[in-house]
Chains A and B, each alone.
Chain A
Amino acid sequence: MRNKMKKTGEFIQKKCQADDYVLRISRNKKLHTRFAQNAITQHIDGENLQIKLKVAFDNKTGSASVNQTDDDSLKKLINTAEAMAKINKPDPEFVSSEKEHNLIELEEPAAATTELKVKKIVNDIKNCIENAKKKEAKLSGISQKKINEVYLKTKNGFEGYDESATFSHSMTIKKENVETKVSRSVRDYTNFSMQEMIDKLNEQFYSLQEPRKMDKGRISVIMRPLAFLSWLYYLMWTFRMREADEGLNPYTDQIGKQFFGKAFTLCSTTSDSQLSTPRFYGNGIPAKNIDWIKNGVIKNMQTSRYYAREKGIEPAGIYNFLVEGGDSKEEEMMQKVERGIILNNLWYIRPVDMKSGEWTGLTRDGVLYFEDGKVRNSVYNFRWNEILHDVTKRILALGPALPVEHNAKIPTVLFDNFNFVDVTTF
Chain B
Amino acid sequence: MNYVELALDTAKSLGADYADIRIQKAQTERIILRNLSLKDTSLNELYGYGIRVFKNGAWGFAHSNVFSKDAVVDTVKKAYSIAEESQRLPHGDGLKLAHERGYIDTYKTDFEIDPFTVPLSEKVGMMLEVNRTLMNYEAIQQAIFMLECRKDEKKFGSTLGSRLDITTVYLEPMFQATAVTKEDSQSRTFTEGGKATGWEYINSLDLKSKAEKVAEEAIMKVNADTLGEEKRRDLILDPIHMSLTMHESVGHPTELDRVLGWEADFAGISFATPEKLGKFQYGSEIVNFMANNTLEGGLATAGYDDDGVPNQKWYIVKNGVLNEYGTTRSTAPIIGKKMSRGCNRATNYYDFPINRIPNLYLEPGKEKLTPQELISNTKDAVYIEGRGSFSIDQHRVNFQFGGDMFWEIKNGKKVRPLKKVLYKSNNPEFWGSVDAICDERFFRTMGITNCGKGQPGQRGRMTHGGATARFRNIRVGGSQ
The interface of chain A, by Cβ under 8 A from chain B, is: 30, 32-49, 52, 54, 61-68, 80-81, 84-85, 87-89, 91-93, 118-119, 122, 125-126, 129, 138, 140-142, 144, 170-172, 174, 179, 181, 246-248, 306, 347-356, 358, 360-362, 364, 381, 383, 385, 387, 419, 421-422, 424-426
Contacts and interface: CB of A to CB of B under 8 A. Distances in A.
A39 B391 contact: no
B330 to A, nearest CB: 8
Nearest to B392: A348
Interface in B266-292: 266, 268-269
The 10 lowest CB-CB distance pairs between A and B, nearest first, are: A46-B63, A39-B91, A140-B264, A93-B37, A63-B42, A172-B265, A36-B262, A140-B265, A40-B86, A247-B180
B260 A47 contact: no
A32 B142 contact: no
Contacts of A172: 264-265
B88 interface: yes
Given A37-B262, A38-B89, A129-B89, A352 B45 contact: no
A216 to B, nearest CB: 10
B446 interface: no
B83 A43 contact: yes
Interface stretch (B53-61, B163-171, B367-375): B53-61
B62 interface: yes
Contacts of B185: 247-248, 354-355
B261 A36 contact: yes
Contacts of A170: 265-266
A277 to B, nearest CB: 23
B358 to A, nearest CB: 21
B145 interface: no
Given A65-B42, A67-B45, A138 B264 contact: yes
B265 A141 contact: yes
B455 interface: yes
A88 B121 contact: yes
Contact of A179 (B37, B260, B263, B264): B264
20 contacts: A32-B455, A36-B261, A36-B265, A37-B262, A39-B90, A39-B92, A41-B262, A42-B354, A43-B61, A43-B82, A44-B61, A45-B79, A46-B350, A66-B47, A67-B46, A140-B263, A356-B480, A381-B393, A419-B480, A424-B398
B184 interface: yes
Nearest to B456: A32
Interface string B175-218: 00010101011110000000000000000000000000000000
B48 interface: yes
Contacts of A181: 265
B391 A383 contact: yes
Interface stretch (B298-306, B407-415, B420-428, B459-467): B420-428
A347 B83 CA distance: 32
B41 interface: yes
Taking each of A43, A47, A383, A387, which has the highest tally of chain B beta carbons within 10 Å of its own beta carbon? A43
Taking each of A32, A47, A67, A172, which has the highest tally of chain B beta carbons within 10 Å of its own beta carbon? A67
B68 to A, nearest CB: 11
A122 B82 CA distance: 10
Interface of B: 36-38, 40-48, 50, 58-65, 75, 78-79, 81-83, 85-86, 88-92, 119-121, 124-125, 128, 141-142, 178, 180, 182, 184-187, 260-266, 268-269, 350, 352, 354, 389-395, 397-398, 400, 402, 420, 422, 424, 426, 455-456, 479-480
Contacts of A362: 391, 393-394, 398
Contacts of A348: 391-394
Given A46-B62, A362-B394, 16 more contacts: A36-B265, A43-B58, A43-B85, A44-B82, A45-B79, A64-B42, A65-B45, A66-B45, A67-B48, A87-B121, A89-B125, A247-B182, A351-B389, A355-B186, A385-B422, A419-B480
A360 B264 contact: no
B58 A360 contact: no
Contacts of B479: 352-353, 356, 358, 385
Contacts of A47: 63-65
A331 B102 CA distance: 62
Contacts of B47: 66-68
B288 to A, nearest CB: 25
A399 B142 CA distance: 41
A425 B397 contact: yes
A70 B81 CA distance: 29
Contacts of A138: 261, 264
Contacts of B90: 39-40
Nearest to B419: A353
Given A61-B41, A174-B261, A347-B394, A45 B61 contact: yes
Given A44-B63, A122-B89, A360 B391 contact: yes
Given A248-B180, A248-B185, A352-B389, A88 B124 contact: yes
A84 B43 contact: yes
Contacts of B75: 46
Contact of B184 (A61, A66, A355): A355
Contact of B455 (A119, A142, A246, A350): A142
A225 B456 CA distance: 23
B395 A426 contact: yes
Contacts of A91: 37-38
A423 to B, nearest CB: 8
A354 B184 CA distance: 9
